[in-house]
């Protein structure tokens, strides 16, 4: 039996164990996906533990997607561009980081806005950077990051009304709304012509997605992006191409875990 871990902090809510357990079962593998809730001081030891021969690798989530990069032997070009790693493969005691969030998010964007022109991204962490690279890959011409601090090139939250008025796509890459009935955006700022992706997936749909749909907007919560990055991570750990049957098993497990309204 081999092990894969999810490294993050306050991650008991994660639906990834259910999704990957379904994939391993479909593939006939006696593998295990486990949560590793670690703080910043424990991150080096958690990374070093992945060099064990029985560990295939890991997913990485908040708040460690950027910090873990300094602990790896190599990172691929997508992760380097994003400045964030969400997938680590362990091979012969070497740790290689990649970012499967980027193509998964790009797929979700294409489902709602194949050619977005003016995009507002909420957040300034690893998820927001993955969104930036995904938007770059589909050649979105105007992308603005918005964060509470307004530092590091991001616009301030105070600019949000003006920015959203001209936007055709909004992506929430903050954790606001996770396991809570709250939204990072006032409903009055949502307008016709705006599509919305909320990377938060629990609850699914989120309050932000509910409010957007109530306004008649196209909107998706984060379960689809979770699924997309999940099967790509599985391919990296196992060195295989994941077929439609496995993807469907993962999607069904997510739907069962999150409820019938999940945007898988």
Q: Give the integer Cα–Cα distance in Å for 74 and 23.
A: 27
Single out the catalytic residue among 20, 64, 65, 129.
Answer: 65
Q: What's the sign of the alpha-carbon dihedral 166, 168, 174, 179?
A: positive
- 33's enclosing H/E stretch is strand 32-37
Annotated catalytic residue 247: no
Q: How many CA atoms lie within 13 A of 217 on its CB side?
A: 26
Which string of DSSP letters, residue by residue, matches 191-203? -TT-EEEE---SS
Nearest Cα to Cα of residue 256 among 13, 14, 19: 19
As annotated, the active-site residues are 65
């Amino acid at each position: 039996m081999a092990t894969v871990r999810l490294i993050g902090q306050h991650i008991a809510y994660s639906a990834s164990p259910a999704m990957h357990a379904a994939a391993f079962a479909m593939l006939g593998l006696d593998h295990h996906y486990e949560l590793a809730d670690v703080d910043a001081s424990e991150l080096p030891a958690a990374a070093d533990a992945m060099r064990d021969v029985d560990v295939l690798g890991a997913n990485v989530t908040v708040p460690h997607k950027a910090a873990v990069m300094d602990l790896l032997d190599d990172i691929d070009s997508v992760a380097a561009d994003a400045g964030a790693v969400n997938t680590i493969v362990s091979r012969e005691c070497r740790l290689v980081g990649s970012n499967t969030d980027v193509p998964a998010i790009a797929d979700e964007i294409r489902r709602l806005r194949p050619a977005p022109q003016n995009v507002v991204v909420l957040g300034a962490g690893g998820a927001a950077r993955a969104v930036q690279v995904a938007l770059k890959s589909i050649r979105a011409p105007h992308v603005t990051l918005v964060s509470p601090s307004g530092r590091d090139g991001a616009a301030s939250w105070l600019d949000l009304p003006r920015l959203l008025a001209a936007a055709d796509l909004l992506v929430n890459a903050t954790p606001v709304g996770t396991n809570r009935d709250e939204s990072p955006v006032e409903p009055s700022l949502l307008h016709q012509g705006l599509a919305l992706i909320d990377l938060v997936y629990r609850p699914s749909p989120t309050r932000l997605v509910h409010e957007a749909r109530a306004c008649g907007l196209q909107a998706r919560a984060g379960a689809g992006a979770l699924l997309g990055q999940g099967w790509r991570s599985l391919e990296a750990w196992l060195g295989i191409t994941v077929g439609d049957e496995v993807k469907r098993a993962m999607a069904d497990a997510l739907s069962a875990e999150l409820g019938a309204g999940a945007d898988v």
